[in-house]
């Protein structure tokens, strides 16, 4: 059995002898030192469990030696220091305790009192050993939890030079969370969340929120549906008084406008790429998520026209509420001035340096999160489409198939039907339900090898559905969107017409079939509207005449084996080749 170690520090040899004899009889291995300097050296060498320290000694006294030894212990170890002194002055004894001493006993020593003091300090040592063990386990657990947290919550976020961030947690875990993803439509979704408080407790809600965000964006759901689902889940699982403030931005791949929603957070800022000025401030229009499920996020998202390379600035109140030594707030005005004065890639670095200087390197009391998203085409995944057909190949084929409805009856004997699926939305269902993620999910159930086809199918369905709803049923004119004011008028008019839908409907018919051992899908979309001029729309698929308003039809044509509109324009059929053999 290894003996406990004790260090006896006294310049008097007799005092050292007496303490040595008593401690040795109590199963201690005793190390001796004649002064404070020697005591510090022998402490570093032997790491004793307890130190008996004389107060008045040459070279270095007991108080100075105690300070140095306690400093060597730091925050991860402990040693008991018992001052043994003939001094009875209360101020001097107080100084011993303030220097780090844990107890004292006066000379001449009463062995019964000494024995009681030693047992008391041994209990204190045991408590500290248990404490350090618990702290070590907690740190290991936190590191494990942090790795799990990062792999679950932060993994799979977009890696792009167009997303610049400043993320500084106040503790190991951050109550802030920045998520980003590309949806099936190709649009980029960015969500900056700020949970109540900070640290592990605040980070707990991030896991379910991130799961919902990733799942719904990957399936093509809108920001409104995603926030509704997150809000519902957080309201159910978070304790009372805990909630998640959020800034949510959707950047369209067309780079014509962004959709922004703010719930209980500071303003989202839009910075003009040419002037560097803040041109838009989108303020919170409702309370944070997890407070109430009675929130209609479709009424909260705002559509903001943008130009290429404009910036979207997201930030938490940890930025604006950072304080200097006098308690003064960093503030939004200071932040905006810094952003407007920054050029190139320096915005985030300038803000980080300014906060550090402003706070005078003081203690950080809240998580600090700031993100700048550059609305550039580099933010998006390029369309994986091979434009192999030239003008002469496109037009004759389109003229042949676009104006006359051709059935595939001639090929019936070569077709083996695999499955058929029909979905019809009527009236206000067209307003409340986005059918595209539902259809993609259903196709995934019908064929589990959907992943590589999800993006092109989403593009096909979205373009055809928007045409059927906006132009076939609502009779909206895309040319309205040629100016920022036109955007606002377009969406206002769309909103008004959607409210009045009663008997209109859109049907989706999917038929999977094998033809020459190749799986294909016939997609038919029928709307109850008056249709539109298909010849005018299809004319825009020529490369020479391609514009933003005609690009969707061009993509559909390139992605499909064939596209057929009926004469009226309220029914379209496309054939998509799955390319998986039986």
Q: Round to whole Å and give the CA distance between 136 and 103.
A: 27
Domain 156-379, classified CATH 3.60.40.10, yes or no: yes
pLDDT digit string (tens) for 312-328?
A: 999 999 999 999 998 89
Cα separation, 210 vs 180, whole angstroms: 10
What is the number of residues in the chain? Answer: 582
The span from the CA of 146 to the CA of 206, in Å, is: 12
DSSP state at residue 451:
H
What does the pLDDT read at residue 73? Answer: 87
Task: State the pLDDT at residue 241.
Answer: 84
- CA-CA distance, 264 to 568, in Å (whole number)? 48
Residues 6+ apart with CB under 8 A from 467: 532, 537, 552, 553, 572
- Which residue stretches of the chain have pLDDT < 70? 1-2, 145-146, 148-155, 198-199, 381-417, 446-451, 480-485, 533-551, 579-582
| Contacts of 89 by beta carbon, 8 Å cutoff, 6+ apart | none
H helix count then E strand count, the chain: 18, 20
Say which residue the tokens 């509704």 belong to: 228
Residue range(s) in the chain whose domain bears CATH number 3.30.565.10: 391-581
What digits encode the pLDDT tens for the residues 43-99? Answer: 999 999 899 999 889 999 999 999 999 999 877 788 999 998 887 777 787 888 888
Which CATH fold topology does 391-581 show? Heat Shock Protein 90 (3.30.565)
In this structure, what token pair is assigned to residue 449? 């090898």
User: In the chain, which segments carry CATH 3.40.50.2300?
Assistant: 4-133
- Alpha-carbon span 282 to 233, nearest angstrom: 26
CA distance 363 to 365: 6
Cβ partners under 8 Å of residue 91, min gap 6: none
pLDDT at 318: 92
Q: Considering only the C-alpha atoms of the chain, give the largest distance between any 2 of them, rounded to a whole number of Å.
A: 117
According to CATH, what is the number of the domain 4-133? 3.40.50.2300
Q: Coil, strand, or helix at residue 194?
A: strand
* Three-class secondary structure of residue 350 per DSSP: helix
Residues of the chain with CATH 3.60.40.10: 156-379
In whole angstroms, give the CA distance from residue 218 to residue 212: 10
pLDDT value of position 534: 66
């Amino acid at each position: 059995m290894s003996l406990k170690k004790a260090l006896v520090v006294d310049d008097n040899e007799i005092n050292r002898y007496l303490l040595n004899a008593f401690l040795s009889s109590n199963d201690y291995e005793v190390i001796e030192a004649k002064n404070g300097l020697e005591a510090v050296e022998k402490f570093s060498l032997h790491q004793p469990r307890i130190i008996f320290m004389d107060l008045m000694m040459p070279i270095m006294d007991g108080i100075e030696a105690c300070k140095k030894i306690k400093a060597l212990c730091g925050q991860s170890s402990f040693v008991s220091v018992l001052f043994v002194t003939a001094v009875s002055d209360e101020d001097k004894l107080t100084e011993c305790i303030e220097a780090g001493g844990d107890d004292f006993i006066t000379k001449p020593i009463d062995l019964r009192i000494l024995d009681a003091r030693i047992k008391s300090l041994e209990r204190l040592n045991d408590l500290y050993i248990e404490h350090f063990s618990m702290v070590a386990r907690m740190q290991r657990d936190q590191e494990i939890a942090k790795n799990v947290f990062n792999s679950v919550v932060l993994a799979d976020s977009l890696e792009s030079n167009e997303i610049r961030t400043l993320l500084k947690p106040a503790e190991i875990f951050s109550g802030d969370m920045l998520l980003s993803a590309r949806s099936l439509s190709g649009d980029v979704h960015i969500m900056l969340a700020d949970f109540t408080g900070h640290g592990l407790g605040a980070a707990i809600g991030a896991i379910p929120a991130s799961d919902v965000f990733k799942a719904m964006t990957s399936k093509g759901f809108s920001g409104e549906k995603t926030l509704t689902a997150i809000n519902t889940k957080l309201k159910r699982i978070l304790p009372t008084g805990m909630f998640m403030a959020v800034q949510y931005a959707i950047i369209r791949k067309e780079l014509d406008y962004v959709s922004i929603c703010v719930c209980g957070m500071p303003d989202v800022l839009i910075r003009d790429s040419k002037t560097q000025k803040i041109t838009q401030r989108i303020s919170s229009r409702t309370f944070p998520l997890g407070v109430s499920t009675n929130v209609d996020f479709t009424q909260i998202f705002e559509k903001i026209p943008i130009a290429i390379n404009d910036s979207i600035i997201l930030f938490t109140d940890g930025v604006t509420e950072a304080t200097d030594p006098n308690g003064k707030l960093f503030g939004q005005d200071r932040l905006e001035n810094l952003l407007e004065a920054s050029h190139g890639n320096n915005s985030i670095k300038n803000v980080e340096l300014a906060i550090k200087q402003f706070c005078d390197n003081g203690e950080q009391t809240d998580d600090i999160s700031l993100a700048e998203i550059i609305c550039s085409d580099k933010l998006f995944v390029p369309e994986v489409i091979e434009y192999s057909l030239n003008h002469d190949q496109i037009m004759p084929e389109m003229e042949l198939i676009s104006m006359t409805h051709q059935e595939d009856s001639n090929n019936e004997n070569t077709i083996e039907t695999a499955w058929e699926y029909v979905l019809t939305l009527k009236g206000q269902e067209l307003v409340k339900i986005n059918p595209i993620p539902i259809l993609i999910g259903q196709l995934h159930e019908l064929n589990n090898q959907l992943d590589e086809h999800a993006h092109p199918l989403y593009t096909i369905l979205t373009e055809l559905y928007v045409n059927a709803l906006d132009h076939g049923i609502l009779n909206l004119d895309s040319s309205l969107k040629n100016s920022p004011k036109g955007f606002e008028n377009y969406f206002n008019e769309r909103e008004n017409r959607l409210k009045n839908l009663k008997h209109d409907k859109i049907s989706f018919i999917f038929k999977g079939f094998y033809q020459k051992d190749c799986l294909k899908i016939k997609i038919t979309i029928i709307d109850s509207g008056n249709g539109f001029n298909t010849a005018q729309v299809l004319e825009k698929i020529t490369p020479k005449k391609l514009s933003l308003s005609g690009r969707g039809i061009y993509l559909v044509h390139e992605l499909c084996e064939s596209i057929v509109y009926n004469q009226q324009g309220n029914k379209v059929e496309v054939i998509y080749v799955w390319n998986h053999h039986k």
